[in-house]
Structure 1
Amino acid sequence: MSCNLNGKELATYDVIIIGSGAGGGMAAYQLTKAGANVCLLEAGGYFDPAEPKYITQLKWPYESPRRGANTVRPFGDFDAAWGGWQIDGEPYSAQPGTEFHWFRSQMLGGRTNHWGRISLRFGPDDFRRYSLSGIGADWPIGYDEMKPYYDRVDKLIGVFGTNVGLPNEPDGFFLPPPKPRLHEMLITKAARSVGVPVFPSRLAVLTKPINEERGTCFYCAQCGRACSAYADFSSSSALVIPALKTGKLTLINNAMAREVLTDPQSGLCTGVSYVDKTSLQEKTVKGKIVILAASTCQSARLLLNSKSSQFQQGLANGSGVIGKYLNDSTGASMTGFVPALMNRKRYNEDGAQSCHIYTPWWLDNKKLDFPRGYHIEYGGGMRMPDYNFMSGIEAYNGRIADTSGKKKEAGGYGAGLKDDYLRYYGAFVSMAGRGEPVPLESNYCEIDPNRVDQYGIPTLRFHYKWSDYEIKQAKHMQETFDEIIHAMGGQRVSSAPGADRNYGLEAPGKIIHEAGTVRMGKDPKTSALNPFQQAHEVKNLFVVDAAAFPSQGDKNLTWTILATSMRTSDYIIDQLKKKTI
């Protein structure tokens, strides 16, 4: 579908944006507010969490035929996650001996509709990792250049948190954080007792109103369904829909971009070729500037597929780096049982999304055997039960001790099962580490020479292996989790994964924080983009998703995608005024 509230489709647009997630949404918002005529191509359908036909908040798990199981959608039936690890007719592959899992979200707003809303700024050290450690790469920009944009994103979108004065965990403009729940208070006390700091989380959820268009959180903990009150940040509700209201945005849904078109003489972008997924017809939209925000891997795929006599390795790929240095956050987790949390009075403990507390990286990597850090996200409490609730309790048989210290057989059937559920409800906590990998040239995606998708577009083939750095980091995560659980008087509910399982390190891609395939830098020989995320070789081509990032820090990426996209948008506006592009 095409939607443009007050405007009309144009023969040539000032700007074409591919992808409506955090980067594309921010660019659409900034550029239309500045008066540019923008065309936004989105591979998925239209989505507005405030429209009744899309609302899934406050539905009970039993209203799903699968009781909320994720047999149809990767994150559950009711979650705003249109897409998945595998999409019919749109395959990808991995080279033998390697592994990568690629999650694609095809809907207006992309992954921002169902993400965790953890909104952390990169710190000064995150932009200069090579200078500090001799490993990895520095960014061509630093925190001082990014701080004004982080500040603007905080104020525009809203984020709760607390200023704590940590040097590499920059403070911001925060809304009041929600109070910690009982399990979080116990985690905080135990973690601090063993030297692990804990602070209020920083989440893109409104605990106070910031404008008339968006409501405030009512603590249903269902942000993954996209908020009908617009109280959490989703690109669709907070950026794209306001941009549509300017009358300057033409939105084309179900548009699968095939390639970026260029002029054979100048090499400049002239438009985008896409397949209309509803009619299967190939169409073209023309524009003076093209911005890629299709996601890290999809943006690389588009550039590699956009070949011509001038760009035989792919558009803007004279450096040969496009597709290379792909990296995803590390992830390892643990679930623990805490007898002190048993037999509690039951009450609504949902809260705002998942965690009200988190642990930023607190140690000096120079004193460790791995060069990058991680943060810890915590879970637990008396959440809304679903099909998954207490699943596997039988697997804990004979290994869980109650408050009397006695171990018993858990689960079973009938009244005994109900009794166990009541006693154990709220007595489990979880911990998940999310860490920074070292970007490697040997981790990459490329065009598969033997496969195309159902639209005839060549697909991606991945090559990715964790290094010893990431495996050692996961080992440290597990040791830290064990120490915190022990300090709570609890116990791990399953045996600790060992070296044979990489200490529980999730497979590459599983954390869905991929970055780095179209990296920015000062040297055109080793990077595809300049510090404003503008292609070195094609001055009217920009990339505003995480593909541009030389590294990703131990933080979640979204806040930095938003800030860098805002910065690039300001640069484009300035260059348009100067008529240099």
Structure 2
Amino acid sequence: MDLFEIKKAPAVYDAVIVGSGAGGGMAAYMLAKAGAKVLLLEAGGYYDPADPKYITQLKWPYESPRRGASTFARSGGDFDAAWGGWELEGEPYTSKNGTEFHWFRSRMLGGRTNHWGRISLRFGPDDFRRGSLTGIGDDWPITYEDIKPYYDQVDKLIGVFGSVENFPNSPDGFFLPPPKPRLHELMLKKAATSIGVPVIPSRLSILTKPINKDRGQCFYCHQCNRGCQAYADFSSSSVLVIPAVKTGNVELRNNAMVREVTTDARTGLATGVSYVDTVTLQEITVQAKTVLLGASACESARLLLNSKSARFPNGLANSSGVVGKYLNDSTGASRSGFVPALMDRKRYNEDGVGGMHVYTPWWLDNKKLDFPRGYHIEYGGGMGMPGYGFMNGITSHNHLAPGRDKNQRVSYGAALKDDVRRFYGAYVSMSGRGEPVPLESNYCEIDPNNVDKYGIPTLRFHYKWTDNEVKQAKHMQDTFEEIIHAMGGIPLGNKPGANQNYGLAAPGRIIHEAGTVRMGNDPNKSALNKYQQAHDVKNLFVVDAAPFVSQGDKNLTWTILASAMRTSEYLIDQVKKKNL
């Protein structure tokens, strides 16, 4: 059999969806419930965290040949649910003009929703109107009120814990009870609030109470990143895709690397997609009445830019020329501290949920600061099960044990064991996650010189932080030190300075990329309308974070889910009205 032999599937589906993450999974769920016949394509393999062959939850480090260490194919560690990482064999990407961007890809059913922190925050009213409020950036074509009903539905469908706090731009939702703060979090809250930094219960999509018969309740093993066999946390694979397939209306095909969206030369409408079966290397075309892209912001842009034809010479849905542009990722900076008051603690199970129990929403007015956008703070610490590399935190900082002089550092044997016991649980960490200003000059494009192992042209990135993001990182570092000192703690390591961009993470490292196929009211300045429907191709939709005009100082997943639900409802309505 020749490589890349093209085959046509006989069926014409109501919809073909590319990608099974938050957006693709939600679209599949919504369309299946409406009775549509859907083909869902996922570039990676099948995954079900409740299937014994995939379970890594509750395993001991010695059950891994690498004791849980990361590998090329599992950058989060040998037990992490993510299959993939920053670099994938045979799937390269490059950067342009000395700039830097790191692209994390997860090749599996459910994509990156299998291993994320479950931080489930709504964008606030101000996040949709940054341009008109500040004169910097652009407004979305929708408001908070447009998407609020869908946030409400997502809260109830999936489940999220939290508390009603009445922060105007960090909207409350329909919350399950939050878990109680642990000792280090109580100390963080006391210290932070003493200097004017609010600390409130986190908002994570983890079930602290049952919400239906198909999903269990969190049993506090602190291992959500491994995939929950009780389905007590949100992953697209377990909560959306598997239920959608069970309706009988969704056909799932794994190992399907989509090359392009196909179109009709006469009408310009999308007719389906062409994909490479990554196992057989056959190229297969499928036909569908509508096409929905949920492959991730960069991958969806890549698909559109590779979907060239005589009618669409610059790529599909790209008459505006904005596809690939306005790429942006959350800012990030971190710091940790040693808190002597937390030494010599009594041992007890402090695992909790798989993530933080408290966090800090943005609390200041940027009009009074020297940078235009805010950030939130995520906190870590406690006496969770030690993992691979735990000893590094103690030995690298050379803390003295009582009764030793400056020449008697932590070393080995009984002395080392004694110090580990004493220092265990005495560390805290904090990370800022902030909003950048999207720029046209930050973009991805097709690399003219490279293809992946399937023969598909790859991406090339051009991305630079500006002074806005660097100054924001400085504010993060100043705040972190203030909180640590207020706890009576000692900041670890040297405080990052201007020559290090104040510890600002490299672009892409926070894995919150958005933009690239932005929506808007003007077809000359945007690729999609307010329903994430292509201006140029009315039966083409994008349901990941590519349509987003800006980030917000929040994680993206809850907004991807809400907007994908809204788009799916609109699509269903348009089909009923025979507009599609």
**TM-score bucket of the superposed structures, by smaller chain:** over 0.9
Helix, strand or coil at the partner of 2:155: helix
Q: Would the aligned equivalents of 2:531 and 2:567 in 1 still touch at CA under 8 Å?
A: yes
Listed one character per residue, the Cα deviations across residues 121-177 of structure 1 (whole Å, up to 9, x for unaligned) are: 000000000111101111000001111000000000000000101100101000000
Aligned partner of 2:6 in structure 1 is none
Q: Would the aligned equivalents of 1:394 and 1:409 in 2 still touch at CA under 8 Å?
A: no
CA distance in 1, matches of 2:403, 2:343: 11
Q: Would the aligned equivalents of 2:433 and 2:553 in 1 still touch at CA under 8 Å?
A: yes
Q: Would the aligned equivalents of 1:339 and 1:403 in 2 still touch at CA under 8 Å?
A: no
Aligned partner of 1:530 in structure 2 is 529
Aligned partner of 2:364 in structure 1 is 363
Question: How does 1:24-423 map onto structure 2 within 5 Å?
Answer: 24-72=24-72, 73-397=74-398, 400=399, 409-423=408-422
Give 1:65's aligned amino acid: P
Q: Would the aligned equivalents of 2:16 and 2:291 in 1 still touch at CA under 8 Å?
A: yes
Listed one character per residue, the Cα deviations across residues 261-306 of structure 1 (whole Å, up to 9, x for unaligned) are: 0000000000100000000010011000000000000000000000
Q: Would the aligned equivalents of 1:340 and 1:403 in 2 still touch at CA under 8 Å?
A: no
Listed one character per residue, the Cα deviations across residues 472-504 of structure 1 (whole Å, up to 9, x for unaligned) are: 000000000000000000011111010111000
Helix, strand or coil at the partner of 1:244: helix
Cα offset, 1:66, TM superposition? 1.6
Aligned length: 571
Cα offset, 1:403, TM superposition? 8.6
Aligned partner of 2:16 in structure 1 is 16
CA distance in 2, matches of 1:443, 1:426: 41
TM-score by length of 1: 0.97
Question: How does 1:481-492 map onto structure 2 within 5 Å?
Answer: 481-492=480-491
CA distance in 1, matches of 2:542, 2:401: 54
Helix, strand or coil at the partner of 2:58: coil
Tell me: CA distance 1:531–1:343, structure 2 relative to 1, closer, same or farther (3 Å). same
Tell me: CA distance 1:555–1:411, structure 2 relative to 1, closer, same or farther (3 Å). same
Cα offset, 1:178, TM superposition? 0.3
Give 1:334's aligned amino acid: R
CA distance in 2, matches of 1:438, 1:215: 40
CA distance in 2, matches of 1:403, 1:161: 41
Helix, strand or coil at the partner of 1:560: helix
Cα offset, 1:395, TM superposition? 2.5
CA distance in 2, matches of 1:154, 1:83: 29
Correspondence 1:459 to 2:458: yes
Cα offset, 1:65, TM superposition? 1.7
Listed one character per residue, the Cα deviations across residues 549-572 of structure 1 (whole Å, up to 9, x for unaligned) are: 000100000000000000000000
Cα offset, 1:407, TM superposition? 6.9
Q: Would the aligned equivalents of 2:49 and 2:229 in 1 still touch at CA under 8 Å?
A: yes
Runs of 4+ off more than 6 Å: 401-408
Helix, strand or coil at the partner of 1:54: coil
Correspondence 1:427 to 2:431: no
CA distance in 1, matches of 2:10, 2:34: 18
Q: Would the aligned equivalents of 1:325 and 1:516 in 2 still touch at CA under 8 Å?
A: yes
CA distance in 2, matches of 1:500, 1:293: 38
Structure 1: give runs of 5+ residues left out of the alignment.
1-8
Aligned partner of 2:4 in structure 1 is none
CA distance in 2, matches of 1:139, 1:35: 31
TM-score by length of 2: 0.97
CA distance in 2, matches of 1:76, 1:436: 28
CA distance in 2, matches of 1:409, 1:270: 72
Correspondence 1:558 to 2:560: no
**Percent of aligned positions with the same letter in both sequences?**
74
Give 2:252's aligned amino acid: L
Correspondence 1:502 to 2:492: no
Helix, strand or coil at the partner of 1:219: coil
Give 1:364's aligned amino acid: D
Helix, strand or coil at the partner of 1:462: strand
Q: Would the aligned equivalents of 2:130 and 2:138 in 1 still touch at CA under 8 Å?
A: yes
Question: How does 1:536-555 map onto structure 2 within 5 Å?
Answer: 536-555=535-554
Tell me: CA distance 1:403–1:151, structure 2 relative to 1, closer, same or farther (3 Å). farther
CA distance in 1, matches of 2:385, 2:561: 31
Cα offset, 1:406, TM superposition? 8.6
Aligned partner of 1:3 in structure 2 is none
Helix, strand or coil at the partner of 1:144: helix
Q: Would the aligned equivalents of 1:62 and 1:386 in 2 still touch at CA under 8 Å?
A: no
Cα offset, 1:386, TM superposition? 1.6
Aligned partner of 1:576 in structure 2 is 575
Helix, strand or coil at the partner of 1:547: coil
Give 1:491's aligned amino acid: I
Q: Would the aligned equivalents of 2:335 and 2:480 in 1 still touch at CA under 8 Å?
A: yes
Helix, strand or coil at the partner of 2:222: coil
Cα offset, 1:383, TM superposition? 1.2
Give 1:205's aligned amino acid: I
Q: Would the aligned equivalents of 2:394 and 2:423 in 1 still touch at CA under 8 Å?
A: no
Cα offset, 1:393, TM superposition? 2.4
RMSD: 1.3
Aligned partner of 1:440 in structure 2 is 439
Structure 2: give runs of 5+ residues left out of the alignment.
1-8
CA distance in 2, matches of 1:532, 1:168: 23
Cα offset, 1:434, TM superposition? 0.2
Tell me: CA distance 1:131–1:422, structure 2 relative to 1, closer, same or farther (3 Å). same
Moved more, 408-417 or 135-144: 408-417
Listed one character per residue, the Cα deviations across residues 322-350 of structure 1 (whole Å, up to 9, x for unaligned) are: 00000000000001000000000111111
CA distance in 1, matches of 2:363, 2:403: 36
Tell me: CA distance 1:312–1:179, structure 2 relative to 1, closer, same or farther (3 Å). same
Give 2:331's aligned amino acid: T
CA distance in 1, matches of 2:560, 2:405: 50
Cα offset, 1:402, TM superposition? 7.0
Helix, strand or coil at the partner of 1:396: coil
Cα offset, 1:392, TM superposition? 4.3
Q: Would the aligned equivalents of 2:115 and 2:227 in 1 still touch at CA under 8 Å?
A: yes
Q: Would the aligned equivalents of 1:78 and 1:225 in 2 still touch at CA under 8 Å?
A: yes
Q: Would the aligned equivalents of 1:131 and 1:138 in 2 still touch at CA under 8 Å?
A: yes
CA distance in 2, matches of 1:476, 1:404: 38
CA distance in 2, matches of 1:401, 1:364: 42
CA distance in 2, matches of 1:76, 1:459: 27
Q: Would the aligned equivalents of 1:377 and 1:432 in 2 still touch at CA under 8 Å?
A: yes
Q: Would the aligned equivalents of 2:401 and 2:419 in 1 still touch at CA under 8 Å?
A: no
Helix, strand or coil at the partner of 1:289: strand
